[in-house]
Structure 1
């Protein structure tokens, strides 16, 4: 399927081929991609958008209108979206709970490196197993049924827990400890696949202008893939990672390509996306903040 270097094709045609390749390698689920649209496009512009915009945006990555409507219904049932009608048009906004989740994810995706320290957590009280699983999803390693260790970051569910900070000045001991409790190989492989998928896009976009609609499609795929890989990564402190850790290069590529695509992508949003109160703004204070954070990482 890789026809990227074919002669006589425009930049948008080549990027369309790259989109096809990415979708074959890592297929999309409609609900997850709609969540990405809200996180990247809608949430920093007020949280409300016309369903027609969702349908059109998803069509560019081969997600049908039927799948979009089904996914939106499921997101409403799950309490992530709330429907509104204005005349004959349907609009959907983020629920308050979903907005908080999106804000937390945005801090991880767009933010800089987190605190370089470790934390031991001893769970007390009830529902220990459920809370331990939440810690594991946040990147912690289970040491026993009530004790976990991981990066010292804010994690939900620590109200009934004893937390202790941990520190090591021995790189070899730290490396051995990480190897014993974390399997980083799947995360490294996911980052390498991300790099393989988006390096050609960056090389092309640096040399040729990309049409606004195409830029938005590729930026959404970029953040969708990076978000998927990053939020599954335990995101251990840098001192604990192998010297050739691909996550560092992946973050730099994400930041550089997001910045490269954003002027055209945001222009397309400002010209085409609407809420019940009118067009979505191409630029907001929150978007400017995101771009500023990425400029320090590219």
Structure 2
């Protein structure tokens, strides 16, 4: 299992992909263990990771209809996954006319640990640094950022502004200062190196439902970090040959090819318990 595929991350990806039935039925613990064994996670790691997610208020212990032990998503976890869906599965092309959102924050020195938390969270939401204490992102990320900072109790330290970049430097030059574009490009290239061969193989041979489930869960677990590391900027602001569009296309095709067949495998595992 690749280093980035931690047990806790894979559990979140599993619930995001297959653990959100409209009726809120919990996923049985036995099913979690079997499904995660397919991607190399042993039972003790599943149990300890589920316990951590439960302590964080993301999973709730619930009984399944047949009385067995299971875990369901909390309301907070569902909202987090819904926010994530808008990035992970987005297919609309960004436009420069959409504008920018600025997050300007000030944290008292005696609470500097919250300053670090703010910086970390804004970075994980795809913001770049325009100046000390001034962070910038495409305007479409405003609602999700607002929700995230409210959940963390950080909203009182931040003011948001929306607008256009008017210079003096060309916007493409400014963007290259605000974000580490080479580092983001490397993330896309790593994803392509890992999953273009998977896509090529599945085009030729769809494999079993279990194969589809395994390949899709690992692809999703790798992909879902990228739309946060990458703010997804308009093409005219990016270097020539930018790999982000291709990596998004690869994930979208993997989703189209594998997700539904993976769901068949999940249903089979739950039915066979």
TM-score range, shorter chain: 0.7 to 0.9
Stretch of structure 1 that moved more, 82-91 or 251-260: 82-91
Q: Distance in 1 between matches of 2:103 and 2:63?
A: 46
Q: Distance in 2 between matches of 1:104 and 1:198?
A: 24
Does residue 161 in structure 1 map to residue 159 in structure 2?
Answer: yes
> Structure 1 residue 110: deviation in Å?
1.1
Q: Are 1:142 and 1:148, in contact at CA under 8 Å, matched by a contact in 2?
A: yes
| Aligned with residue 106 of structure 1, among 77, 80, 85 | 85
> Structure 1 residue 179: deviation in Å?
1.6
Does residue 39 in structure 1 map to residue 21 in structure 2?
Answer: no
Partner residue, 1:217 = 214
1:176-210 Cα distance to aligned partner (Å, 9 max, x none): 11122211212211111111111111111111131
Partner residue, 1:72 = 50
Residue ranges of structure 1 left out of the alignment (5+ in a row): 1-22, 280-298
Q: Are 1:132 and 1:142, in contact at CA under 8 Å, matched by a contact in 2?
A: no
Q: Distance in 1 between matches of 2:36 and 2:160?
A: 45
> Structure 1 residue 133: deviation in Å?
4.0
Matches within 5 A, 1:147-296: 147-152=134-139, 153-154=141-142, 155-156=145-146, 157=149, 161-167=159-165, 173-273=170-270
> Structure 1 residue 40: deviation in Å?
0.5
Q: Distance in 2 between matches of 1:269 and 1:57?
A: 7
Q: Distance in 2 between matches of 1:194 and 1:64?
A: 25
Query: Which consecutive aligned stretches of 4+ in structure 1 deviate over 4 angstroms post-superposition?
Result: 124-128
Does residue 91 in structure 1 map to residue 70 in structure 2?
Answer: yes
Partner residue, 1:119 = 101
> Structure 1 residue 166: deviation in Å?
1.3
Q: Are 1:50 and 1:273, in contact at CA under 8 Å, matched by a contact in 2?
A: yes
Stretch of structure 1 that moved more, 157-166 or 203-212: 157-166
- With normalisation by structure 2, the TM-score equals 0.81
Note closer, same or farther for the CA distance 1:99–1:162 as it changes in structure 2 (3 Å cut). Answer: closer
Stretch of structure 1 that moved more, 179-188 or 161-170: 161-170
Q: Distance in 1 between matches of 2:264 and 2:67?
A: 26
Secondary structure of the corresponding residue to residue 270 of structure 1: helix
Stretch of structure 1 that moved more, 176-185 or 247-256: 176-185
Q: Distance in 2 between matches of 1:47 and 1:190?
A: 36
Matched length: 252
Stretch of structure 1 that moved more, 147-156 or 231-240: 231-240
Q: Are 1:48 and 1:92, in contact at CA under 8 Å, matched by a contact in 2?
A: yes
> Structure 1 residue 239: deviation in Å?
2.9
- With normalisation by structure 1, the TM-score equals 0.75
Q: Distance in 2 between matches of 1:137 and 1:262?
A: 26
Secondary structure of the corresponding residue to residue 273 of structure 1: helix
> Structure 1 residue 47: deviation in Å?
6.0
